[in-house]
Structure 1
Amino acid sequence: MATRTPLTVLTGPLGSGKTTLLRHILTTVPHKLAILMNEFGEIAIDAKILQGKNVEMADLGGGCVCCSLLGKFEAAVNEIIATVNPDRLVVETTGVAEPDALVFDIQESLPQVRLDGVVTVMDADGLITYPQIGHTMRIQIESADLILLNKVDLIPEPDQEHLITKLQSYNAEASIIPTIRCQIDPDLLFGIGRDRLQPPPHHRHQPEFETFSYISQAIYDPDCFSEFARSLSPTIYRAKGFVQFPAGTHLFNFVAGRWDLEPFDPSPTELVFIGKQVIPHRSAILDRLKGCEQT
């Protein structure tokens, strides 16, 4: 009997740190990895962040892997195994995905892989700022075999204990590990050996968020862009991408009012914006951004 490829599902809310965890994995794991990414947006920002990291990648964009892209997901897994034959396969879902449907599909339709575990990344600061656990987030927590409570450096220690107790009330079986920038021993991520079956989901996934993208060759004024970033909340919950400044390209990460810039490889400006009912605000947001272009 052929050996089944271990597959890890990486899930969690928008901006919780899933791509940060992947970047950490790629610098610490000696195995031959393949990564299948599903991004919520027209531009595959996360895939571009990981490009050139000596890893085989496939991208499933333009929808959610847990519902509209299930067929493409199965085909992509089959192709990766046939052409790359990785030691391990990691699937990063979009932050709006409900992983129960994906887990059920893996166990029912992909006999050549073995679901090793579901790792859910949670944003500790986000859970304090927005304490309500919505339907999608609840499923992400309940589906987990391991929960990384990320960004604990942004909250007081008593809040950390409160959040661990809160997460345990939704999932008493999963291990919960506090992390900063998803720094974790990779041995804890792999070899979980999930032994519980996922029943078929009994609901239709209805993503709450909308998204739009922007591409430009312009150079942006750093101070003006900082003001623009501060103006995004509360309309935009998540924004990410690359921005060209006079000093070079920077990776822009925005989550629930927090944002940072990280020097990155040269790239044109490419940004993705995500939020609830954001399409009516698209023109106003982009007009403010275009106002930061340097002549």
Structure 2
Amino acid sequence: MQIRTPLTVITGPLGSGKTTLLRHILETFPKKIAILMNEFGEIAIDAKIIQGKNVQMADLGGGCVCCSLLGEFEAAVNEIIDNVDPDYIVVETTGVAEPDALVFDIQESLQRVRLDGVITVIDADAMIKYPSVGHTTRIQIEAADTILLNKVDLVSKSELQAIEKKLHSINEIASILHTVRGQVDPDLLFGIARERVQAPPHHVHQPEFESFSYSSPATFNRQCFEEFADSLEPDVYRAKGFIRFPKSVYLFNFVAGRWELEPFTQEATELVFIGKNLSLKKAEIIDRLKLCER
């Protein structure tokens, strides 16, 4: 009998901490893991963050992994099994993906894998700032076997209880794990193997977010860029990428008005901005950013 490779889906809203979780798994889980990533934006920032960690990459590119890319997804999974023979396959979906179609396709079309579990990462701080749960986020929560309630250090105890109550009202079955920067015992994420029957999805995508990218060989003034980052909200909900300052390059992460910089080995500035009706603000945002070039 053929042994099926366990496959775990990591999903969750934009900026919730999926890639940070993935980096933690790669550093702490002593198994051969193959990764498929599906990003929202023209530049595959997350793939560049993960690369170099002795893992097999298959970048699915922009768009929605649960619809237009299903054929490519199946081919990528089969190619990874043939060439790498991993212990586990992890699929990180874009923050705007609805995972129900992906789960259905895994169960119906991929005979060489078995769905081990769906991990949904939720940003506790964003749940307080934006309490209305959108359509896509609700589906991501409903699909979860395990919910990682991330960034719990940024909310109060009473706020945390309110968030948990809301999550349980959407998904009564999933266990909820509290995390800071995605720090969790990987053994809690793998080996779930919950039996489920996923009905065929009948959703129609209504693009909620727009994105644009910006690349530059220039060096940027750090103080100016930090002021620029402080000014992004409310036009931009999520931004990520690499920014070159005089002494080194940094990984830039911005979510819902909160941002951070982390030293990172990269050649040049590459940034992706994501938000609602962003095409109307693109030129203005780029002009403000260019003012920081040295």
What range is the shorter-chain TM-score in?
Answer: over 0.9
1:38 aligns with 2:66: no
TM norm structure 1: 0.99
Q: Distance in 1 between matches of 2:242 and 2:179?
A: 26
1:140 aligns with 2:134: no
1:60-71 aligned at under 5 Å gives the runs: 60-71=60-71
Contact residue 148 and residue 178 of structure 1 kept, 8 A: yes
Q: Distance in 2 between matches of 1:79 and 1:205?
A: 28
Q: Distance in 1 between matches of 2:11 and 2:141?
A: 9
Q: Distance in 2 between matches of 1:156 and 1:88?
A: 36
1:6 aligns with 2:14: no
Q: Distance in 2 between matches of 1:141 and 1:250?
A: 32
Q: Distance in 1 between matches of 2:190 and 2:236?
A: 34
Output one character per residue of 1:157-184: Cα deviation in whole Å (capped at 9) or x when no partner: 1111111111000000000011111111
Paired letter, 1:140: Q
Aligned identity (percent) is: 70
Q: Distance in 2 between matches of 1:208 and 1:74?
A: 26
2:91 aligns with: 91
2:58 aligns with: 58
2:104 aligns with: 104
Q: CA deviation at 1:205?
A: 2.2
2:279 aligns with: 279
2:241 aligns with: 241
SS in 2 for 1:105: helix
Q: CA deviation at 1:207?
A: 2.6
Q: Distance in 1 between matches of 2:131 and 2:62?
A: 29
Output one character per residue of 1:188-224: Cα deviation in whole Å (capped at 9) or x when no partner: 0000012011111122122311111011000000010
2:164 aligns with: 164
SS in 1 for 2:144: coil
SS in 2 for 1:271: strand
5+ residue gaps, structure 2, are none
5+ residue gaps, structure 1, are none
Contact residue 67 and residue 205 of structure 1 kept, 8 A: no
Q: CA deviation at 1:233?
A: 0.5
What value does the CA root-mean-square deviation take over the aligned residues? Answer: 0.7
SS in 2 for 1:239: strand
1:200 aligns with 2:196: no
Q: Distance in 1 between matches of 2:22 and 2:266?
A: 21
SS in 2 for 1:27: helix
Q: Distance in 1 between matches of 2:20 and 2:145?
A: 19
Q: CA deviation at 1:95?
A: 0.2
Q: CA deviation at 1:22?
A: 0.3
Q: CA deviation at 1:247?
A: 1.6
1:149-228 aligned at under 5 Å gives the runs: 149-228=149-228
Q: Distance in 2 between matches of 1:74 and 1:286?
A: 37
TM norm structure 2: 0.99
**Runs of 4+ in structure 1 over 2 Å off:** none
1:121 aligns with 2:118: no
Number of residue pairs matched by the alignment? 294
Paired letter, 2:182: C
Output one character per residue of 1:118-146: Cα deviation in whole Å (capped at 9) or x when no partner: 00000000000000011000000000000
1:16 aligns with: 16
Q: Distance in 2 between matches of 1:230 and 1:236?
A: 11
Q: CA deviation at 1:20?
A: 0.4
Q: Distance in 2 between matches of 1:49 and 1:291?
A: 27
Q: Distance in 2 between matches of 1:135 and 1:189?
A: 25
